Structure 1
């Protein structure tokens, strides 16, 4: 059985919609509404992939990626940046911060499923 996908997003509505969509496709999901709780889940659980909101109030996705990647156990963990920021250069900024991939909101489910397949899901 595949490890669960961790969704970190400060908006519970986004988590609900994303988790529901993924669960209907057979994926297991865990979630956190802030980076600190997401980082704790990464320490406590075996996570296979992270869907990370880049614009959160306390600790944004850019800093969160740095913290995740600093831990040797998570160095190879795929992180997909999820953001409403869809301006030119935003994708490159997310990838430069250490994200493995990028998807913009509103999320195109087929594109997301394609990304998940790319990382073995």
Structure 2
């Protein structure tokens, strides 16, 4: 990955805080969004986002809809998205992939698994 800037999309400030610290400790930069709408706006303005970590269970526009919007927008459709969810059933993983996510990570996040998923996007 030429760029190491990751957009964290989550409505829970505790999750954002923990992910920012974890990513920073591993040499990644991060940007944050508290909603899908904010995330899409950031993606359109900041051409340096390499990966999106998308919480799937957000109020208003959930992660499934947000990924669908990203995939449907030619300007940002190429940006990899990793779905992050507390839903851990096999069908939930498939639902995330069907929505257009490149990968899926379940909560609580296993940091090694997350870093591996990010590196596998290269």
Q: TM class by shorter-chain length?
A: over 0.9
CA distance in 1, matches of 2:116, 2:4: 18
- Give the structure 1 partner of residue 84 of structure 2: 82
Aligned length: 120
Aligned CA-pair RMSD? 1.0
Native 8 Å contact 2:44 2:76 kept in 1: no
Which of 59, 64, 77 in structure 1 is aligned with 2:61?
A: 59
Which of 44, 49, 67 in structure 1 is aligned with 2:51?
A: 49
- Give the structure 1 partner of residue 3 of structure 2: 2
CA distance in 1, matches of 2:88, 2:43: 27
Q: Normalized against structure 2, the TM-score is what?
A: 0.94
CA distance in 1, matches of 2:39, 2:76: 13
Residues 52, 106 of structure 1: alpha-carbon distance in 2 compared, 3 angstrom cutoff = same
The aligned runs of 1:89-104 (5 Å cut-off) are 89-104=91-106
- Give the structure 2 partner of residue 24 of structure 1: 25
User: Which shifted more, 3-12 or 53-62?
Assistant: 3-12
Q: Normalized against structure 1, the TM-score is what?
A: 0.95
